[in-house]
Amino acid sequence: MLLLGVNIDHIATLRQARYADMLESPNAEPSPLDAARDAVAGGADSITIHVRGDRRHMQETDAFAIREQIDLPLNFEMGNTEEMVAMALRLKPDFVCLVPETREEVTTEGGLDVHGLYESLEPTVKALQSGGIKVSMFIDPDTPQVEASSKIGAEMIELHTGCFANAFGEDRASETERLHAAAKLGHSLGLQVNAGHGINLQNLPELLTVPHLAELNIGHTLVARSVRVGLEAAVREMADAMKGYGE
Ligand code: PXP
């Protein structure tokens, strides 16, 4: 069964747009914790949050509230910094997904260069795993990145589907092929293969041709759709559309 991880960062983005300086105010809305509850009601299999170094959306308090009050696996996305490793070891999420993080990017724009940054990533992977946390690498669907993720000892990879999602026509076909190859390689190396970024109801059918997928992490389109139908219904639509994968 293909699992749905719901990324609720953009609920916090909306709250920060008005209340970044008044987070203690009873007016501060919308609540990421309530959003997580709605995602659970809609059939989410896990909740994903990313506390960024610049705290542009999720705050540490959101992460701990969700960890304590939501009874689903928590996927904690983080950059490779000492601050975030320390936070993860206190938070104890079920999974960490290591992502590249720069201040300028609007969202996570490319995969983590596990191959090039191997030396600096290895101690982080070991530290997280020693704390009982499984580690996923958010990587572009390229052979050196998949191989480096296996070598470094990660349990999972999350294939970056941004290029796939933003390509159309022939370009889409070749991006889909790239994902097929990376998923097959990851699976053959014993990695759990997840995927995320830019997935929506329009591109989902093509993505579902990719073999060996275990979990999709989806955020933006669900939060966007929730403006029309509410988050619970948006999550349910997506979960329904994912049914039948691999059968
Ligand atoms: N996976 C990772 C590692 C991400 O950084 C993001 C975006 O925050 C997502 C999945 C979800 O992408 P989207 O919001 O485009 O669905």
Domain membership of residue 130 (yes or no) is yes
Per the residue annotation, which of 10, 115, 160, 197 is the catalytic one? 197
Domains in the chain, number: 1
Domain membership of residue 247 (yes or no) is no
pLDDT at 110: 85
Q: Write out residues in the chain with pLDDT < 50, as ranges.
A: none
pLDDT at 32: 98
Domain membership of residue 85 (yes or no) is yes
CA 137 to CA 54: how far, in whole Å?
Answer: 21
pLDDT at 246: 85
What pTM, to 2 d.p., does this model score?
0.96
77 is catalytic: yes
pLDDT at 109: 65
Q: Is 223 in the pocket of ligand 1 (CB under 6 A)?
A: no
pLDDT at 73: 98
The whole domain housing 178 covers 3-242
The minimum-distance atom of ligand 1 relative to the CA of 220 is 14
Q: Is 220 in the pocket of ligand 1 (CB under 6 A)?
A: yes
Domain membership of residue 171 (yes or no) is yes
Which 3 state secondary structure label does DSSP give 62?
A: helix
Distance between first and last Cα of the chain? 9
Domain membership of residue 49 (yes or no) is yes
Per the residue annotation, which of 77, 158, 175, 215 is the catalytic one? 77
CATH code for the domain in which residue 160 is found: 3.20.20.70
DSSP 115-128: TTTHHHHHHHHHHH
Helices (H), the chain: 9-19, 32-42, 60-69, 82-91, 118-130, 143-151, 162-166, 170-188, 204-207, 220-229, 231-242
Using CB atoms within 10 A of its CB, is residue 119 exposed (0-12), middle (13-18) or buried (19+)?
exposed
Beta-bridge partners for 95: 75, 134
The minimum-distance atom of ligand 1 relative to the CA of 197 is 12
CA 70 to CA 74: how far, in whole Å?
Answer: 9
pLDDT at 103: 53
